Structure 1
Amino acid sequence: MVISHPTVAQGYPGLHSPALWHRANVRLIEKALSELSYEGLVTAESQPDSVSGDSVFTLASKAGGYRWRGHFNLWDQIVVAPGSVRQLADDQPVVDAISLLADVLAPLAIPPVTLANYLRETLNTLAADTQMLAAREGLSAADWLALPADRLQRLLDGHPKAVPSKGRVGWGFTENLRYGPEQGGGFQLHWLAVSRTLAQPVCAPGWDAARLLAASCDAAERVRLHQLLAAAAPRAEDYWLLPVHPWQWQAMIATQFAGLINAGLLIPLGEAGDRYTPQQSLRTLNNVDRPSEPNLKLPLTLLNTSAYRGLPARYLAITPALSDWLQRLLAADALLQHCQCDALAEPAAAFVAHPLYHGLEGVPYQFDEMLGAVWRESTESRCGMGESILMAAVLQQADDQGQPLVVELIRASGLSAEEWLVRLFDLAVVPLYHLQARYGLGFIAHGQNLMLRFANHAPAGILLKDYQGDLFRTEAEWAQPEGLDPAVWAALPTMPSHYLVHNLWTGLFASVFRFMAPLLEGSGLLQERRFYALLSQRLRHYQAGHTALAARFAELDLFNPSMPRLSLNRARFAAGYGDTASRPIHALGPALNNPLLIGDTLATA
């Protein structure tokens, strides 16, 4: 008998391509050395290189050590020159990311179980990256920007700070092929009929269970689902229909909620309705068949980058009320309206509690976040003629020829780099800071949460999204909202004002601008120091025009000489991979000299 092995043509795109595997490893090696040095986990020696103008970095290790070219950016991060990492011992290129990581992390004495799981996540990331590289072969930055937003998701690198950015612990290769964003194929959702005695969706005015179902199923599919329900339940009107990610259904719900299923409180109806594709976050899905219908955010009990991707009950209960209030607040504020700062509505949410895990003190959080949904307005429904709406992650992304997408955006806009950036800072950064200073609201504006609106490729406004734990409020008494249910306000996570500012610092500045500014400098378009000079200038200009908020600017000080260096990989090594009752939080690395202060000095010189 002849055994037939899978080939690329049979559905293993990229993974078993030596060329793509090589490229994925080299890219991840460069990212690892850069990010681990930024977090202060590894320390390389440097010497100027008179030939290239860069520095030559060397890192000693038990296996002999490594050498590469690069330079420090203003965040004390080494920007590694592509293709320059070589073995010290024999001057050969380094092409095995897993061996390098195991070697350079050895001095940290990370527990073997933690290191093994971290390397497993990294191998998963390499496998997904080969699929991503296969999907974007031959495409230029201009090609990327011409794609619909959902197709662009296939091509993005993923979390810039996590070395294993696509760990997806719980999925195998088959699941990645079907449910990962790299492949772009759509899939149907699984549907559960939920007894109204068990749970009901929480909806904004004008929304109900019937409208939510219609957003995912056409008339024929709705009839079919209701026929299935009528055959299974004597009183179909006592149930409403909840979408479930098909992987979550078979991996978790079918067994963990088997008691409720056998009691007739949950009735499985199978897969039906429109096809969906995942965004980079995996659990947020775009409707392929009707793109203007709402996105769905569905729980996945899957460990990815830093946490399991469930949905917490405390935030789902307040989502529609918070969404409605936030949209009214943005519409009533003159500055935010001038900046075209808006939010994607989240008109409905649902949570089905597990009969044992929910309320069990100290239960690992992923056990209590398995079944629910958030319905979110799609960007396609908000996109006007001549506009595009893209996630902020595009600003830190380059194509495979090294051309940054932001450089292509600037070129196509007809503006100078400085003109383009001033618009970006005025329309994205200033509104986020204003929300903090005027209302005490901090939004974690990382590359996936912050949506950028472009008109003729120039910044034209922003859209906020994702309020489930990524919207914070200050503890200060001056932050008293009007027109919001006090219970909703109380449910928001809180922090002192001097911490709230780090939602902007750590989210947008450290997670987007830290990677974006070196791309502009490397392209010869704008020096990194000038980038932060312009950013400081625009923030100072905003502060000068709002002197009544001066005391709050002091509390929310973006110009402190020293700023924290929050570290994602360091946090994983500290927390390990054991179950915990709450999500891991960032760990602190060595303090940073504030790049904004450097820019501020240049701007006022």
Structure 2
Amino acid sequence: MYFDKDLDHILTKESWELVNHKLLGKMLSEFMYEDMITPEIIQEQEYHSLFELRVSAKKTYQFRATTRLFDSFDVDWKTIRLFSDGKEEKVGAIAFLLDIQPLIGMAAETTAHLIKEINQTLIADAHLLSNRVSSDDLVEEDYARLEGYMTGHPWITYNKGRIGFGYDDYLDFAPEHQNEVKLSWIGVSREISSFQSVKDLTFDELINAELSDDDLQKFKELLLAKRLDPTNFLFMPVHEWQWKNVLIQNFAEEIANQTIVPLGESSDSYLPQQSIRTFVNQSHRDKHHVKLPMSILNTLVYRGLPTERTLIAPQITEFIKGIYENDSFLKEECNVILPGEIASINVDHPFYQRLEHAPYQYKEMLGVIFRESIYTYLEEGEQAITLAALLYEDHDGKAYIQSMIEKSGISTQEWITQFFDVTMKPLLHYLYQYGTVFSPHGQNTILVLKEYKPCRLAVKDFVDDVNISDQPFEELSKLSHELKMVLRSEPPEGLTQFIFTGLFICHLRYLTNILEHNEMMREDEFWKILAETIHAYQARFSHLEERFKLFDFFQPAFTKLCLNRNRMVQEGYSSGDDRPHASEFGKVNNALSYYKGVTK
């Protein structure tokens, strides 16, 4: 029987109970934050409270939790207990989901699909238990390898659902298994495809740098053997899973007509990153990172490449880098790194593209984006890590950030102060000076360290996550109509939310939990340092005062954006013609408002 030996040591009673307890703690924390459940405090103590959630007349959950700033809750998963008719029963994440289904009004169809996603998340969590690498060792790990140790989205509870993967696919392609893969390549007729690039980069220049001479010769000979002219084709990589499960089935006519021709694997090895669809070249680190569509549903969306954004990716790169090149603060003082999406290939489906209101995933099946390698930007002695790494804790409970600060030789306060100085200045400058914002969550935002200390920032993934202001800013007046049609244009609070929710809520509030647990820093001190950093920027660029009011990080409350609620009670698993976005529900009290007048 397939995988029986693997499952014997991965899916044990002990491991299953452990991952269920941990996930249940996360579910309680996040569902409370998103106001889907409202447990009552039945006992208050100095540092935490005992909560009780009654899910029926006979059944209650009890647990200890600490209230945090930003209306958050830090649940101690070890204290969760379930009582039914006064007797204690074993807890489980999926059983809890069924218990709260009638309370939150979740449809049976949604619940059934979510059970599948949570089961697959739990299986992945069980696999991750076998990782015994310490945080002390992990601080020395390479950028691409480090990604394989991450545990998924910190906020979304079904964060490794990966609907579409079988267990064999999971073992082969999930980033936590760190399997190097060879990319498959196809030749695509120029009649059905398009190539886009930054200025002065041709397709031949790109592909000659990306493929070896032997690979190129092999691919050309395969086309010639079919009596096809190689100059009439673009060469592009595809993911093996996508080829087997999506492309053959949906592009059968093109394969039959030889406008799509399978060419086999290239010789380089690649490592999948946390997003699953982005690959770092391990044979030649300076070669491009490759982003490929994978029509699997993970977290909120199918992981394809939207046609309109694939087509315009190089133009967005030129826009973002153009700002950098003409701004001495960003270029010389911040020395921010912007790994550009410098080329793309897109292939539309001939029928889905013509179908009005077709579900969005059918228009994202075949394309590729080539992004500059982060390694080409690193200077001597520099190390790159995604912000996601700062949330890692090893199996002995030691935090990655604790090991990093210990190695740096400076205090936690000094390290966090440097961290905010490095990360916030360029993000604020793009927002205030240019009305342009990234979505700086844990995967997109890269911290560059030197001697284990924060020294500069890198931001990636422009094509999906660059957004602009809807205000009539002169800095945006020269944007092409084509760019304005694709980039999301947001009102002031909406634009501010990309940093407030994308960074503060989606990442930093979890970091404060880790710092509190390890007695490294109190959360109020942490947010005070952030406030001081924002005030310091504003004092330096005081001529932007009106924009500080527009994009106000110190306002008392923001609209609360919800990620779990979106799937569970709002959109379910329906597929519209646009990707789902975070749900809006109520307000979140802004802890930074306490520091509105605080300066260094």
TM-score, scaled relative to structure 2: 0.95
Question: Counterpart in 2 of 1:7?
Answer: 4
Say whether the 8 Å CA contact 1:142–1:405 is kept in structure 2. yes
Q: Which amino acid aligns with 1:279?
A: Q
C-alpha displacement of 1:184: 0.7
Indicate yes or no: 2:338 matched with 1:343.
yes
Task: Output aligned runs, 1:491-570, within 5 Å.
Answer: 491-570=486-565
**Over aligned residue pairs, what C-alpha RMSD do you find?**
2.0
1:61 to 31, 48, 55: 55
Say whether the 8 Å CA contact 1:14–1:131 is kept in structure 2. no
| Cα distance in 2 between the residues matched to 1:263 and 1:323 | 35
Indicate yes or no: 2:376 matched with 1:381.
yes
Partner of 1:460: helix, strand, or coil?
Answer: strand
Say whether the 8 Å CA contact 2:341–2:463 is kept in structure 1. no
| Cα distance in 2 between the residues matched to 1:14 and 1:26 | 19
Query: Which whole-Å deviations, capped at 9, do the CAs of 1:315-373 have from their partners, x for residues lacking one?
Result: 12221122133223213222223122221021101110110111422111000110000
Question: Counterpart in 2 of 1:427?
Answer: 422
Question: Counterpart in 2 of 1:161?
Answer: 155
C-alpha displacement of 1:568: 0.5
Indicate yes or no: 2:102 matched with 1:106.
yes
Cα distance change on mapping 1:249 and 1:146 into 2, 3 Å: same
Cα distance change on mapping 1:91 and 1:391 into 2, 3 Å: farther
Query: Which whole-Å deviations, capped at 9, do the CAs of 1:413-461 have from their partners, x for residues lacking one?
Result: 1222221112111211222122111001011111111111111111111
Q: Which amino acid aligns with 2:502?
A: G
Deviates more, 1:19-28 or 1:249-258: 19-28
Question: Counterpart in 2 of 1:320?
Answer: 314
C-alpha displacement of 1:206: 4.8
Say whether the 8 Å CA contact 1:561–1:597 is kept in structure 2. yes
| Cα distance in 1 between the residues matched to 2:247 and 2:306 | 16
Question: Counterpart in 2 of 1:118?
Answer: 114
Question: Counterpart in 2 of 1:27?
Answer: 22
Q: Which amino acid aligns with 1:269?
A: L
Q: Which amino acid aligns with 2:262?
A: P
Deviates more, 1:55-64 or 1:190-199: 55-64
Task: Output aligned runs, 1:74-89, within 5 Å.
Answer: 74-89=69-84
Question: Counterpart in 1 of 2:439?
Answer: 444
Say whether the 8 Å CA contact 1:7–1:16 is kept in structure 2. no
Deviates more, 1:70-79 or 1:262-271: 262-271
Say whether the 8 Å CA contact 2:189–2:234 is kept in structure 1. yes
Question: Counterpart in 2 of 1:209?
Answer: 203
Indicate yes or no: 2:436 matched with 1:474.
no
Question: Counterpart in 2 of 1:191?
Answer: 185
Cα distance change on mapping 1:392 and 1:409 into 2, 3 Å: same
Q: Which amino acid aligns with 1:414?
A: G
Say whether the 8 Å CA contact 2:146–2:389 is kept in structure 1. no
| Cα distance in 1 between the residues matched to 2:322 and 2:399 | 36
Say whether the 8 Å CA contact 2:435–2:469 is kept in structure 1. yes
C-alpha displacement of 1:270: 2.5
Say whether the 8 Å CA contact 1:349–1:373 is kept in structure 2. yes
Say whether the 8 Å CA contact 1:198–1:265 is kept in structure 2. yes
1:131 to 122, 127, 134: 127
Q: Which amino acid aligns with 1:305?
A: T
C-alpha displacement of 1:218: 2.4
Query: Which whole-Å deviations, capped at 9, do the CAs of 1:467-520 have from their partners, x for residues lacking one?
Result: 223100011111534775453344311111221000101111111111001211
1:143 to 116, 130, 137: 137
Matched residues, number? 596
Question: Counterpart in 2 of 1:233?
Answer: 227
| Cα distance in 1 between the residues matched to 2:105 and 2:316 | 45
Task: Output aligned runs, 1:354-433, within 5 Å.
Answer: 354-433=349-428
| Structure 1 unpaired stretches of 5+ | none
Say whether the 8 Å CA contact 1:521–1:527 is kept in structure 2. yes
Q: Which amino acid aligns with 2:301?
A: A
Q: Which amino acid aligns with 2:33?
A: Y
| Cα distance in 2 between the residues matched to 1:13 and 1:501 | 48
| Cα distance in 2 between the residues matched to 1:231 and 1:576 | 49
| Cα distance in 2 between the residues matched to 1:47 and 1:214 | 67
Question: Counterpart in 2 of 1:254?
Answer: 248
Query: Which whole-Å deviations, capped at 9, do the CAs of 1:293-325 have from their partners, x for residues lacking one?
Result: 111100011110000111112112221122133
C-alpha displacement of 1:523: 1.1
Say whether the 8 Å CA contact 1:390–1:453 is kept in structure 2. yes
C-alpha displacement of 1:291: 2.2
| Cα distance in 2 between the residues matched to 1:533 and 1:104 | 37
Question: Counterpart in 2 of 1:96?
Answer: 92
Say whether the 8 Å CA contact 1:14–1:133 is kept in structure 2. no
Q: Which amino acid aligns with 2:287?
A: E
Say whether the 8 Å CA contact 1:534–1:599 is kept in structure 2. no
Task: Output aligned runs, 1:296-335, within 5 Å.
Answer: 296-335=290-329
C-alpha displacement of 1:116: 0.8
Say whether the 8 Å CA contact 2:82–2:91 is kept in structure 1. no
C-alpha displacement of 1:539: 0.6
Say whether the 8 Å CA contact 1:121–1:168 is kept in structure 2. yes
Say whether the 8 Å CA contact 1:307–1:584 is kept in structure 2. yes
Partner of 1:200: helix, strand, or coil?
Answer: strand
Of all paired residues, the percent bearing the same amino acid is 30
Indicate yes or no: 2:573 matched with 1:577.
yes
| Cα distance in 2 between the residues matched to 1:401 and 1:75 | 28
| Cα distance in 2 between the residues matched to 1:484 and 1:563 | 29
Partner of 1:427: helix, strand, or coil?
Answer: helix
Q: Which amino acid aligns with 1:441?
A: T
Say whether the 8 Å CA contact 1:423–1:460 is kept in structure 2. yes
Question: Counterpart in 2 of 1:352?
Answer: 347
Partner of 1:88: helix, strand, or coil?
Answer: strand
Question: Counterpart in 2 of 1:592?
Answer: 588
Partner of 2:128: helix, strand, or coil?
Answer: helix
C-alpha displacement of 1:13: 8.2
Partner of 2:194: helix, strand, or coil?
Answer: coil
C-alpha displacement of 1:149: 1.7
| Cα distance in 1 between the residues matched to 2:517 and 2:69 | 14
Cα distance change on mapping 1:396 and 1:55 into 2, 3 Å: same
Query: Which whole-Å deviations, capped at 9, do the CAs of 1:264-296 have from their partners, x for residues lacking one?
Result: 211112233322221111111111222221111
Cα distance change on mapping 1:491 and 1:49 into 2, 3 Å: closer
| Cα distance in 2 between the residues matched to 1:150 and 1:482 | 38
C-alpha displacement of 1:104: 2.6
Cα distance change on mapping 1:24 and 1:212 into 2, 3 Å: farther
Query: Which whole-Å deviations, capped at 9, do the CAs of 1:42-74 have from their partners, x for residues lacking one?
Result: 111124454x73211111123622111220110
C-alpha displacement of 1:31: 0.7
| Cα distance in 2 between the residues matched to 1:380 and 1:19 | 41
C-alpha displacement of 1:12: 4.7
Deviates more, 1:283-292 or 1:509-518: 283-292
